[in-house]
């Protein structure tokens, strides 16, 4: 089984993949592009004001030559993929190992690739490969997640969040 999603507003219903329907080798994807607003909002909600993310002059004088995303912004895309694509609503995200390999820059489009690696029948949990790949086909984050999928079908309407604006943007 292969599932995919983007951060599009068109997908109004979220459906899960229950534990018993998940199979080793099942794959899913989730896609998102990093915007200026993402950087500012993530800094605001996380409290991470490192100038590498927010100050163009500072960032220009680093080895990256420009501002980069917070590593955990990229990690949060994995959380989004697990919660809305596979296993989807009703699942619990119980652990994560991450290795940050490359910077994510403004305008980068990232694809989170998920693949079921293992299932534990006794615990009813699974190990998922969680790689994040940029628009150039380069892996920016490599990892694995432990999840506890719901045991039954879950179908819910997507919650619509309010529009958020930032003064000066």
The per-residue pLDDT for range 56-72, each reduced to its tens digit, is 999 999 999 999 999 99
What is the pLDDT averaged over residues 152-159? 93
Confidence of residue 163 (pLDDT cuts 50, 70, 90): confident
pTM greater than the 0.95 cutoff: no
Query: Would you state the pLDDT for residue 57?
Result: 97
pLDDT at 31 over 90: yes
Residue 70 near residue 111, CB atoms below 8 Å = no
Token representation of residue 12: 């109004």
pLDDT in tens, 81-90: 999 999 999 9
44's enclosing H/E stretch is: helix 36-46
Residue 93 φ/ψ, nearest 5 degrees = -95, 105
What are the Cα distances from residue 38, in Å, to 17, 68, 72, 122, 141?
29, 11, 12, 40, 18
CA distance 95 to 82: 12
Write down the domain spans for the chain.
2-157
Confidence of residue 26 (pLDDT cuts 50, 70, 90): very high
Supply the CATH classification number for the domain 2-157.
3.10.129.10
């Amino acid at each position: 089984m292969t599932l995919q999603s983007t951060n599009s507003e068109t997908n109004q219903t979220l459906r899960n993949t229950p534990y018993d329907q998940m199979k080793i080798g099942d794959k899913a994807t989730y896609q998102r592009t990093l915007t200026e607003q993402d950087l500012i909002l993530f800094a605001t909600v996380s409290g991470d004001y490192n100038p590498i993310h927010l100050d163009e002059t500072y960032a220009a004088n680093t080895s990256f030559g420009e501002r980069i995303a917070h590593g955990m912004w990229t990690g949060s895309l994995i959380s989004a993929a697990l919660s809305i694509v596979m296993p989807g609503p009703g699942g619990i995200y119980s652990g994560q190992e991450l290795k940050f390999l490359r910077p994510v820059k403004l305008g980068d489009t990232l694809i989170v690739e998920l693949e079921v690696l293992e299932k534990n029948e006794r615990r009813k949990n699974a190990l998922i490969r969680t790689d994040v790949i940029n628009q150039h086909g380069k892996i920016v984050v490599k990892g694995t997640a432990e999840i506890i999928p719901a045991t039954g079908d879950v179908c819910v309407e997507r919650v619509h969040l309010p529009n958020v604006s930032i003064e000066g943007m």
